[in-house]
Structure 1
Amino acid sequence: MAPVREGQSSFRQLKSVSPSLVERLVAEYRAGDSVYELQQRHGVHRNTIAKHLRDHGLQLGRQPLSTAEVHRAHELHAEGLSLNAIGRKMGRDPKTVKAVLG
């Protein structure tokens, strides 16, 4: 941790998040952006973003594959693609793909 300069607080100032930004964060998260992507794009700490998302009733973290994604994973597997290739193509972890292909 960098030394505290004279006249500087040892705590960072919290960035105020406007209601319109919160709505945008919620919409972008629902569209599939991760908390880390939102952090980079908007310059708001990930913990602040996570708090606002949870306050809007959203569950954080990767969600299980949807029914459509499961069908797509089976199609790609039938075409001979590896778990890694399917994961890259779908933007999912290969272990998640393996779990549904069982």
Structure 2
Amino acid sequence: MALSDADTEKWALLASQPLPGDLFLVPNDRPNSNVNHGVVAKIRQRQKRLTYLEVNQVVAAYFGGSTTYEIASQFGLHRHTVSRHLKDRGIQLGRRR
């Protein structure tokens, strides 16, 4: 599958321009529309895959008294991901005092 000449020109123009931070432009592929010629969107967080050893470290940190929020911040994960890894290991989560 190849790009049309119009699409090639759009992407060549985009590739030649510097991009601010973690934003990128997506060309508007619909001619004659009233929408702006570019849409600014944030790039999502790249998924991080934990190794078996890292999951063991998450479990150890949880048993060491760290909260799921603290562990998530330490490993660069979302707190739900931390909870899922703990639940997958058969650890019952709950409020601790």
Normalising by structure 2, we get a TM-score of: 0.52
Give the equivalent residue in structure 2 for 1:5.
24
Identity %: 34
Question: Residue type of the partner of 2:25?
Answer: E
Paired residue for 1:16, among 33, 49, 56? Answer: 49
Question: Residue type of the partner of 1:45?
Answer: H
Question: Residue type of the partner of 1:46?
Answer: R
CA distance in 2, matches of 1:40, 1:10: 19
SS of the equivalent of 2:69 reads: helix
Q: Give the 5 Å matches for 1:36-51.
A: 36-51=69-84
Question: Residue type of the partner of 1:62?
Answer: R
Pick the structure with more strand per residue.
2
Runs of 5+ consecutive residues of structure 1 not aligned to the other structure: 64-91, 93-102
Asked if 1:30 corresponds to 2:63, the answer is: yes
**Dislocated runs of 4+, deviation >6 Å:** none
Give the greater-gyration-radius structure (CA): 2
Please state how far the C-alpha of 1:29 moved relative to its aligned partner: 0.4
Please state how far the C-alpha of 1:10 moved relative to its aligned partner: 5.8
Runs of 5+ consecutive residues of structure 2 not aligned to the other structure: 1-22, 27-40
Please state how far the C-alpha of 1:9 moved relative to its aligned partner: 7.7
Q: Please say which of residues 40-49 and 6-15 is displaced more in the overlay.
A: 6-15
- In the alignment of these two chains, the number of paired residues is 62
Q: Give the 5 Å matches for 1:1-102.
A: 5-6=24-25, 11-63=44-96, 92=97
